[in-house]
Amino acid sequence: MKTTADATDRSTGPSSAAPEGQTRSAIVTLLLEDGPVSASDIGLKLGLSAAGVRRHLDALIDAGEARSTVTPGRLQKGRGRPAKLFQLTATGRSRLGHSYDDLAGAAMRQLREIGGDGAIETFARRRIQSIVADVVPADHSSPDSVEATADAISQALTDAGFAASTRHVGTGVQICQHHCPVSHVASEFPELCTAEREAFAELLGTHVQRLATIANGDCACTTHVPLATTELGIPSAESNIHVGSSVVPDSSSSTAPNRRSASRRISYSLESQQRLRKEHA
């Protein structure tokens, strides 16, 4: 990887077109899976020089495919100027496989006209069930089993084009879908997102919380899965969900401890944060 990147930075002739495109694709993939991410982190992970990273990021920003934000002061490490973080825009995501969006949207509208909301809900359920058909349901009394099933769901989603991953946050695990090939359709038909959440909960045998969706303008579709459960399989008061810079307990109990996780925090849109607070009100 480093050899290719270095060659890309030095090459100026026509033969550099292929490596140039490969490097740009690698940066786009990193923005998709890890964004928001700093330019220095991109350089370290891909073996690119600072100048090479800036050149590609500037090109993506000029094309409207990426944007930069400033690290919030409370998350800034050390002193000095806040670091810039980069992530894909909706335009950048659209380059990654929103094929047949118009056709799919038209078909969904026709389905609703013919069969009503029930037809849309049935279609959404069957769609996600086909994606996770090979996932073995978890034993909700075993955190290890729940986590293994979350990993299996993530892999099934990745195989279906969602570029999914899992990561620990507090006493739970989060399923993160960094790309959604149907996000434009899902923004009009939220039944698709609802069906996903319900399917996850059924397979995991526990309550799950959808924290953010690409269709709603967030950088990823994020679902929180508590690993600490009671004997009835209900999430314990110690399962904490991280939203923005705050810790929101995944329980209706007002006595849940406000613990700080060592895991990195996730930035969500204001609308998503307001929606989550209402659910816990």
CATH of the domain at 61: 1.10.10.10
The strand pair at 172-177 and 209-212 is best described as unpaired
Specify whether 138 is located in the same domain as 276: yes
88 and 196 part of one domain: no
115/251 same-domain check: yes
Residue labelled with tokens 């929180």: 224
Q: Do residue 84 and residue 111 come from a single domain?
A: no
Residue by residue, pLDDT tens for the chain (281 residues) are 443 444 444 433 333 444 667 888 888 888 887 878 899 999 999 998 988 899 999 999 998 888 888 765 544 555 656 678 998 887 777 666 554 567 788 899 999 999 999 999 999 999 999 999 999 999 989 999 999 999 999 999 999 889 899 999 988 999 999 988 888 899 999 999 999 999 999 999 999 999 999 988 888 999 999 997 534 444 444 444 444 333 333 433 333 334 333 333 344 444 554 554 555 45
- Residues 58 and 113 placed together within one structural domain of the fold: no
Residues 230, 131, single domain; the answer is yes
184, 245: one domain: yes
Domain span at residue 87 reads 2-94
Statement to judge: residues 228 and 250 lie in one domain: yes
Q: At 220, which CATH number?
A: 3.30.1380
Same domain, 69 and 119: no
pTM for the model stands at: 0.56
Please give the tally of structural domains in the chain.
Answer: 2
Residues 162 and 78 in one domain: no
Four-CA torsion 5, 162, 59, 16, nearest 10 degrees:
30
Q: Are residues 125 and 90 in the same domain?
A: no
